[in-house]
Chain A
Amino acid sequence: MSKFTGPVYVVRDNIDTDQIIPAQFLNLVPTIAEEYEKLGSYALNGLPNALYPVRFVKDGAMDTEFPIVIAGRNFGCGSSREHAPIALGAANCECVVAESFARIYFRNCIATGEVYPIECPERLCDIFKTGDLAEVDIDAGTIRHVATGKVYSLKPLGEVRPVIDAGGIFDYARKNGMMPKAA
């Protein structure tokens, strides 16, 4: 997949892993199918209600209606919990476009292949509002604000793109003969 279209969900700087998936839900094990799905229902559940009155996943829903998250600086800081990119992926979020990412979160996105972590030099969280329609084109390296028609450049994903395309490091390693086929 290289193009995603849909409404965006906008968050500010420094959204840590507790806000992406609150610690109380870490009793769910991502490799158990029904617990994986449940993690999706809690994605971004830790955002304070007063600052984020529109919820990323509606109460009672399992998936989000926002395939694209737009964030400021340092998205995914805090813990190394892989539940964070997994919760977003399990909620059917496709990509996070942020000014910058925290290191472990970025790496976990790649390792799991759950969501594309894409950096944008522009501070899109000041430009987009939650619910605005956007088109992300990974091949072209752009994000378009549909209502205004404005197009913003994304930083290239470079060597991490084929890993996410393949579905994570293990699938990538198998596809490229670095590991034997399925165990």
Chain B
Amino acid sequence: MTLTEKLLARAAGKASVQAGDNIWVNADVLMTHDVCGPGTIGVFKREFGKTAKVWDRNRVVIIPDHYIFTADSLSNRNVDILRDFAREQGLPYFYDVIDDPSGAWKFDAAKGNLKRQFGSNYAGVCHAALPAKGHTRPGEVLFGTDSHTCMAGAFNEFATGIGNTDAGFVMGTGKLLIKVPETMRFRLEGKLQPGVMAKDIILHIIGEIGFDGATYRAMQFDGSGIATLSMDDRMTIANMAIEAGGKNGIFPFDARTAEYVNARTGLNGTKQSYEPVEADADQKFVYETVVDLSKLEPTVACHPDPGQRKTAKELSHLKLDRAYVGSCTGGKTSDFVEFARVLRGKKVVIDTFGVPATPDIVRDLQSTRWGHQTIWQILEEAGVRMTENAGCAACLGGPVDTFGRMNQGGLKCISATNRNFPGRMGSKESEVYLASPATVAASALTGRVTDPREYVGN
């Protein structure tokens, strides 16, 4: 069995499963957020009753992160719905925006977008917060009401996005009926060249198989090149399995996984024990390919879908209006480090936005010094508009007052986020080009798509 098959067999209490089997699996964690949480709670109450209790209060994790820093009253109300539910159910893992459990959330637009407006429990973008707060463990099954839930596959677990109705079902029963996907194998070999990042690996792969090339399938990333990738790198890659239509992305377990997970589980009272899965020697794949990491170049996915692959060099004629670094896939500390490495001591020539995924990342960037300056200061001095209000922000457009949203048609934005369908970051007449934080940085310096190796050297 492949990693995914093995994990699902275990979660179903079966000795073995094969692709195509419909099986009931036990969920280890169910995650929801402010966009899909209120609807999930609505389904749960409608179907299980107004006084029903969730199946296991330690396993339901609620992370407001999408439409938080907006004056839109319905969005603020949705955070309040989550708070009421968390209080009523006694959920220990609700990462509220404010500290007062009986308060109401209201964003104060008069204070502006840049300065922190959240309390001490707020955790930021759910997919980055889950591992940071100790909710991802090897060998487990994670369901989330968000398509990028697949990011947690970096930790050797089965993680996938589901809708509100399925999530309402999991909330009440702890189980879900799923079909075992076929597995596609991507064997990563070698090591990335300087200036080339994990984002380039996944953009290359999606370009190779197409935007629907992994529909209904698991994407297994293994091979000797994995050892060269940090956990952040693996998260960047697993995050975008969905952009090829994949059900999940998954990595093998190794010492790096253990180090990351062991340092974070338990901190928050989360479960510390786990049992990783290893693939069998006779695992079967529906597709197999080798990716030589040393041959990859800075890669861009052009408007209007993540499969429109070009190298950054090929696009050097393309003029841009905006640059953006942020989101689950592209707003981690390591992403901002590469962003800053290229921008240090220089000035951006187009509007450039930086949105860290979590408050912890804000703290990292504001406390890590390169010489006499913090990374945060280096970015600000380069002209990047950095916000402390960590969250999903303009990655998915959101309400019109969202920081970094493209409210005008005709704009072209290069972005370290994960999706570029029409209207993704705001106006449906705007265009998004996906690239690594290094490529976004180099492009922000020139105002056109730029290979970052011109700045970091070969």
Contact = CB atoms under 8 A, between A and B. Distances in A.
Contacts of B46: 31, 183
Contacts of A61: none
A102 B213 CA distance: 11
A16 B421 contact: yes
Interface stretch (B2-10, B67-75, B448-456): B67-75
B406 to A, nearest CB: 12
Contacts of A74: 211-212, 215, 245
A107 B162 contact: yes
A183 B51 CA distance: 10
A78 interface: yes
A74 B168 CA distance: 26
Given A27-B67, A29-B38, A78-B147, A48 B211 contact: no
Contacts of A169: 165-166, 169
B428 A47 contact: yes
Interface stretch (B116-124, B263-271, B357-365, B393-401): B393-401
B75 A80 contact: no
The main secondary structure of chain B at its interface with chain A is loop
A111 B81 CA distance: 23
Nearest to A101: B215
Interface string A85-118: 1000000000000001011100110011000000
Given A16-B421, A107-B163, A169-B165, A27 B72 contact: yes
Contact of A183 (B52, B145, B146): B52
Interface in A144-183: 168-170, 183
B245 to A, nearest CB: 6
Most chain A Cβ neighbours within 10 Å, of B72, B147, B168 = B147
Q: By DSSP majority rule, is chain A's interface helix, strand, loop, or mixed?
A: loop
Given A31-B39, A102-B245, A18 B397 contact: yes
A79 B396 CA distance: 10
Given A27-B74, A82-B163, A102 B215 contact: yes
A55 interface: no
Interface residues of B, number: 53
B449 to A, nearest CB: 22
B35 interface: yes
A24 B165 contact: no
A30 B167 CA distance: 14
Given A48-B428, A74-B211, A183 B49 contact: yes
Contacts of A47: 422, 428
B207 interface: no
Contacts of B424: 16, 18, 23
B42 A27 contact: no
B220 to A, nearest CB: 17
B421 A26 contact: no
A102 B422 CA distance: 17
A123 interface: no
A15 B220 CA distance: 26
Contact of A23 (B38, B305, B397): B397
B211 A77 contact: yes
B397 A24 contact: yes
B48 A80 contact: no
A71 B346 CA distance: 47
3 A-B pairs closest in CB distance: A31-B42, A183-B49, A82-B163
Interface of A: 14, 16, 18-19, 22-24, 26-32, 46-50, 73-74, 77-83, 85, 100, 102-104, 107-108, 111-112, 168-170, 183
13 contacts: A14-B421, A18-B419, A19-B422, A22-B428, A23-B396, A23-B397, A29-B42, A77-B211, A78-B147, A79-B147, A82-B165, A104-B162, A183-B49
Interface of B: 35-36, 38-39, 41-43, 46-49, 52, 66-67, 72, 74-75, 78, 81, 144-147, 149, 161-166, 168-169, 211-212, 215-216, 242, 245, 247, 304-305, 396-400, 419, 421-424, 428-429
Given A24-B400, A27-B78, A29-B39, 18 more contacts: A16-B305, A16-B421, A16-B422, A18-B397, A18-B424, A29-B38, A31-B43, A46-B423, A48-B422, A74-B245, A77-B212, A78-B421, A79-B161, A100-B212, A102-B215, A104-B147, A169-B169, A170-B168
